[in-house]
Every structure is written in structure tokens, then in C-alpha cells.
Amino acid sequence: MKFSKPSQLFLVSAIGLLAATLLTACQIVTIDYVFVAASGGSGSTGQIETYAVDSESGALRIAAPSVSSGGSGPVALAVTSDYQNLYVANQGTGSVVHFAIAGNGVLTQKDTVTTGGTPASLAVNAANTYLYVITSSGSGANTAVLTAYPLASGVIGAEAATQTLNLDSVGSSFASDTIIPTAVSVLNDNTGNAVTNNVYVTAYDQSAYNPGCTPVATCITSTANPGWVFGFTVGSDGTLTAAPGSPWKAGVKPTAIASDPTNRFVYVTDFASNQLIGYAIQGSSALNFLLNGPFPTASEPDGIVIDPRGTFIYVANALSNSVSAYVITLSTGTPTAAINVTGSAVNSTDTDPVAVIVDPALGRFVYTVNKLGNSVSGFRLDPTAGTLTPNQATPYPTDSQPTALIAVPHGNHATESVAP
């Protein structure tokens, strides 16, 4: 069969268009960059690895060369709300290091501050004006401290305010407790409103919960001194003031904390009791326990995140190697287990998940960093039910002993809007 010249041109054009369409369909589109902090073993220099998130599968691939964390033993990461600055807390060297984030995910080290103690966690307020760091320094009372550092275009300034975490207000029976801080959370809106201008810190009493001591029966008991949530309001000049009623009891060993995007609820994981504890934020900034709580988790919950819509909670369970999924009842804040297609409320990860995030660009993928598995596990989030299904090719290998992860949206991808 012979085609006329116009027919030949049409055929060639059609084939070219089809080929272009197929290539476009197969093109990998990055929606987020995921940064993973890994310690690399005792005494090693920490590393921060950069991965790209595929828009269709949620699979991770290396996006940029890893960089030094600027110290040893990185344990926590935080980013500014404009996603241009990353901060890492290095526990081994007692420092916080600032990195600039380029549009292609490349990190460039900027400035460093030496903390007054061993840093455990850090967070940035929504206005990007303060970086909050919690530290501890040895045994004994009054050694855990919350410090506020001012930020100017991401650069860390000299400390603006400090608050010691002590139990003086709750009675002499707890005054000698050795307070170990574990996590810090800043409410979503930090613009001066009395209700939303809050910082909350979780901590526990080391003398009451010490798995390394013997005999075990005397170290971990049901009568252990309680863990705590400390609350602070922030003045216009950065001053930290204890919130009315602070601190509040939080199980035995609270390890992670998150607040919902609407600033109505705070949730805390209790590592020792395998529980999720929920609080309602009152107009005075005080916390009240949610009714029907606390809520069961799998074994040793060690990380928590709330999705950008404010409708789902995900908890990383270190000992059971899983993620628990919950649906938030918006009127009350009550979390209810989200049952997946296998009939389970938990989703298997690699070994020892210690932190969990939801991708900020589309709010479609959930990731855990697995310390003993040397990996990241990935899941697709069902935006209707909150349930999870494993991503393609999960888990994804990392450097040794990863401890923290965080994500930023790539390019023109807007963050998922908050519409609970």
C-alpha cells in the first residue's frame, strides 16, 4: 500500500506525537525531597542523605550527594515553613547546624551553634522567627532546658530565651526527678494569638524509667513516676512563660509529640505503656485529656505525625516494626484505628522505625526511618480512609543507623491545604 506525501507526513506526525506522549507518561516527576539523618555508627560523622519522591509510586531515589551533618550523632531535623532552611541537631557534638536547601534538593552548610547540653529535638515556628531546641546536661534535677534562638533569613542568632524544665509546681515528691526531654512541638500558627502561640515539650523521669538498670523489676514498674508535657507561651519578644497548669502528666515515657493543623489538639506517644495520649488545647493554653483515652498502639511507639489535612495520625512503633494509622474525629479529636485491607490496624515496616512523616506536597505518602533496618519504609495513604499500602520497592536503603527524616515539596508543588 502506498501513501501519498500528505498521508506520509500525517503518519510521521502521529507516530511522533504518540512517542512523545508515551515518554511524557513514563517521565519521573518529583514531588518532594526527603532528607534522612544517619549517624553511621558510634563516633562517626553524621550524614544527611537526599531522596526524591516519585509522584506516581511514592518510590524514593537518591537525588543529591549526601553531606556531613556538621557533627556526630544527628538525632532530629526541622525545616522552615518556606522550605528553604534545614536544621539538624547533632547529639554527639552538642550542636545545631543550619543548611540552605536549593531547588534541586542540594544542601549547603551555613552556620552552627553550640548548645548548652545534649540536644534531643528541635522545631521552627510557622513565622520562621524562632528555632526551639531542647537539651539535657547530666543527671539530677533542673538539667533539661528549652532554648529559643531567633532566626533571620534562616541564620541562627544568639539565644533569646531559655526555660528549665522542672517540676516545682507539681509538688516536692517529684522535685528530684531527672528530667530527660524527648520532643518539642510548636503550634501551627505562631503569630501572637494567645491560644496558638504555644510550645510544648515532652519529657520523662530517668530515675523512674531506666531499661538499662537491674533488677528490671525495680526499674520499670507500673508505679513509675509519670512522664510530662511542659507548655509555654511565647511573648512578642520571644520570652517563654509557663502555660497555666503546666506541666501535665503524659504516661510514663512520652517520646514524641504532634499538634493538629487547626491548633485544637495535641497527641503524645507513650513508649513505655504502648499508648497514644490525646489532649484538647484550651483557651488558656492549658491541656485537658481527651475523653476515652489513652488509645492503644503497637509496641514502643517512638514517632508521630498528623497528615496536612488534620484528619489522620500515624505512629511509628519501634519494637513491633510497624506504623499504626488513626482517623481523627474532628469534633472531639478522638483517634480511631484505621483498619487496612488485611484487617489490621498496623502496617509492617523494616526493623526499628523511630520517626514517621507524611509528604507535604500532596499528602499522599507516608515514610518511616528504620534505625536497625538502615532503611526508609514507604506507604501510599488513602485520603478517604487513612489506611496505608506499601509503596513500590519499599524499603529503601540508607546509610547506617538513620534516626530522623523530614520532607520538603519540590518546585511548584504546593503543600496540601488544611481543610479538615
Tell me what pLDDT residue 296 has.
95
Tell me what pLDDT residue 189 has.
62
Residue 1 has pLDDT above 50, yes or no: no
Residue 126 has pLDDT above 60, yes or no: yes
CB-based burial of residue 34 (10 Å sphere; 0-12 exposed, 13-18 middle, 19+ buried)? buried
Tell me what pLDDT residue 206 has.
80
Tell me what pLDDT residue 336 has.
95
Looking at per-residue confidence, does 416 or 283 come out higher? Answer: 283
Tell me what pLDDT residue 18 has.
41
When pLDDT is cut at 50, 70 and 90, the band that residue 412 belongs to is: low
> Residue 5 falls within a domain, yes or no?
no
Looking at per-residue confidence, does 386 or 235 come out higher? Answer: 386
CATH number of the domain encompassing residue 59: 2.130.10.10
Q: How far apart are CA 152 and CA 147, in angstroms?
A: 16
> Residue 16 falls within a domain, yes or no?
no
Report long-range pairs for 245-249 (Cβ below 8 Å, ≥24 apart): 245/284, 245/286, 245/287, 246/169, 246/286, 247/165, 247/167, 247/169, 247/170, 247/203, 248/279, 248/286, 248/287
Question: Into how many domains does the chain fold?
Answer: 1
Over residues 207-234, the mean pLDDT reads 67
Tell me what pLDDT residue 254 has.
96
Looking at per-residue confidence, does 133 or 342 come out higher? Answer: 133
> Residue 211 falls within a domain, yes or no?
yes
Over residues 317-321, the mean pLDDT reads 96
> Residue 12 falls within a domain, yes or no?
no
Over residues 228-243, the mean pLDDT reads 91
For the stretch 247-280, pLDDT in tens is 999 999 999 999 999 889 999 999 999 999 999 9
> Residue 133 falls within a domain, yes or no?
yes
> Residue 34 falls within a domain, yes or no?
yes
When pLDDT is cut at 50, 70 and 90, the band that residue 11 belongs to is: very low
Over residues 335-340, the mean pLDDT reads 93
> Residue 10 falls within a domain, yes or no?
no
Q: How far apart are CA 46 and CA 94, in angstroms?
A: 13
Tell me what pLDDT residue 169 has.
80
Lowest mean pLDDT among 95-109, 186-200, 353-367: 186-200
Tell me what pLDDT residue 143 has.
84
Question: 298 lies in which domain range?
Answer: 29-409
DSSP state of 226: P
Q: How far apart are CA 261 and CA 17, in angstroms?
A: 44
Query: Which pTM value belongs to this model?
Result: 0.88
Looking at per-residue confidence, does 212 or 247 come out higher? Answer: 247
Tell me what pLDDT residue 100 has.
98
